Amino acid sequence: MNAKTMRIAVFVLSFWLVSGELLEADQDVSVPEDWILVERVGPLEEVELTFALKQQNVNRMEELLKLVSDPDSQQYGKYLTLEEVAALVQPSQLTEKVVQNWLQSHGVKNCHTVVTRDFLQCVMTVQVAEALLPGSKFHRYRRDSHTLLRSTSLYSVHEDVHQHLDFVGGVHRFPPKGKEISKGWEGARQSALGYHLGVTPSVIRSRYNLTAKDVGTATNNSQAVAQFLEQYYHPADLAEFMSLFAGGFTHMSAVERVVGTQGGGKAGIEASLDVEYIMSSGANISTWVFTNPGRHETQEPFLQWMLLLSNMSAVPWVHTISYGDDEDSLSDAYMNRINNEFLKTGLRGISMLFASGDSGAGCRHLTKERNTFRPSFPASSPYVTTVGGTSFKNPFKLSYEVTDYISGGGFSNVFAMPDYQVGAVGMYLKSVQPLPPQTYFNNTGRAYPDLAALSDNYWVVTNRVPVPWVSGTSASTPVVGGILSLINDQRFLKGLPSLGFINPRLYKLKGKGLFDVTEGCHLSCLDDKVEGKGFCASPSWDPVTGWGTPNYPVLLAALMD
């Protein structure tokens, strides 16, 4: 991924070294240049590690998710409680016993689990951690004002234990710099024209046909954003934003609940963007912010957030997350396990929206002469709804939308194409010519994004200052999230369940309720074969903007049964 790509700073993978054989590997355990080695960590200092225990009944969960998410199924909308999910997924007694005995044999006692019992978080000394994971050597690293405990050496897991674990969190992976999150975060991308009309809540609401009456009124509705990478929003910025830009419709000017610890210092543009636009598109709906819940230097905020969802019976119905990482930087074991976590949320009727990324099709340099496109995760998960980006054809007025060239999209190299999209993707692959060379992408993989929204030239208030030209799919994702929250609101008022995992229903609509985006291509490898061009938009679904952007009243009508 290039420096303008959104990244998750929080995935931690493990090395499984059993009888001398490397089974799973994080492919990058070198120390990034911006992290400075401070010291070898003392043996009595504490670390906190997260153990992902093998789950049961994953195939059954997949079958159930299809049933509760398919509008043609008699079980549509009959979601499970967290406790019912736990009864399905919790590890076997043998798995729990083996892992607990292993930990206790090393004197590890300070552990806590979650409702689903498939994660254990344990605090221990460095001396114990290094005995538990032979080969690991923890050091303290510093970047700016932040410190981190990590081991960059390979380690082993006891042969009797490794089959009961998916991964251990808190060991290897280093977060990227915040400037890598998105093109917008580096100080905003300004157009060649030097001036844009700028996207504000009134522009969003006009383009997507939201009236002043299209605001939340249901008491049992809620939505959320999740923020990592030391990103914080300031309540004063949100109030100022609403004062400046939300005068034409009923809205809330404060977040209902913050889960985690809000840091001090300056507000982050990305955090401000997420909150301001989910609350102005999903107006007057209770909003939560999940923010940097990690406490120990070894904790990983994304992993902490996943654990919170497995431990909270009542959480918001729509979550939008603006992060992703290259599939090839993560192990298959890790991605498959996180995928299972998304399965769990879908079974509970929760909608998970992820930004598709800001590097187009991406580019991975395999050799001097061979490149391939570079899919992003969790955007490539078949159990989340992935949001791409668009721009106005004419930036000086409310015109139709075309592809934003940064809009992430493509085909997973890890996850197979899910049944719900086989027809739509097959049509694209057959009807669009020319396609990029087959060696650049996996035409049998999960294809994304699923839909899109404007991602170019947003106005944001951060540190009490209105800032223009903020761009990226981190902008489009909370907008779509807010619109889905409004649809949930109307469903709740009629006694209907939440939309939940919307993809199967979205693909059955075949574009109904969405403005089809048919112009433009996104970027990719700068080589003589593709010359910087990835996939191109087309009628119906495409791997740049999905099915298109929301036409709220039509989409609402299509989703009200």
Active site residues: 270, 274, 474
How far is 411 from 417, CA to CA, in rounded Å? 8
CA-based nearest residue to 152, from 66, 37, 29, 58: 29
Residues contacting 3, CB < 8 A, separation 6+: 179, 180, 186
Backbone angles phi, psi at 213, to 5 degrees: -80, -10
Question: What is the full DSSP assignment across 122-178?
Answer: EEEEHHHHHHHSTT--EEEEEETTEEEEEE-S-----HHHHTTEEEEESSSPPPPPG
How far is 265 from 446, CA to CA, in rounded Å? 40
By DSSP bridging, strand 351-355 and strand 385-392 are: parallel
Q: At what angle do helices 332-347 and 58-69 cross, to 10 degrees?
A: 40
How far is 126 from 42, CA to CA, in rounded Å? 7
How far is 327 from 413, CA to CA, in rounded Å? 8
Whether residue 122 contacts residue 48, with contact meaning beta carbons closer than 8 Å, is answered with yes
How far is 24 from 33, CA to CA, in rounded Å? 25
DSSP state of 508: H
Residues contacting 283, CB < 8 A, separation 6+: 214, 215, 216, 246, 249, 250, 251, 252, 482, 486
With helix as H, strand as E and coil as C, how does 315-363 read?
CCCEEEECCCEEHHHCCHHHHHHHHHHHHHHHHCCCEEEEECCCCCCCC
DSSP state of 421: G
Cα distances from 374 to residues 319, 363, 425, in angstroms, run: 25, 5, 18
Whether residue 274 contacts residue 281, with contact meaning beta carbons closer than 8 Å, is answered with no
Q: At what angle do helices 269-281 and 235-245 cross, to 10 degrees?
A: 50
Q: How many CB atoms lie within 10 A of CB 189?
A: 17
**Per DSSP, which regions of 417-486 are E strands?**
445-448, 451-454, 458-462, 465-470
In one letter, which amino acid is 178?
A: G
CA-based nearest residue to 320, from 273, 375, 360: 273
The runs of H, that is alpha helices, within 217-349 are 235-245, 269-281, 301-309, 332-347
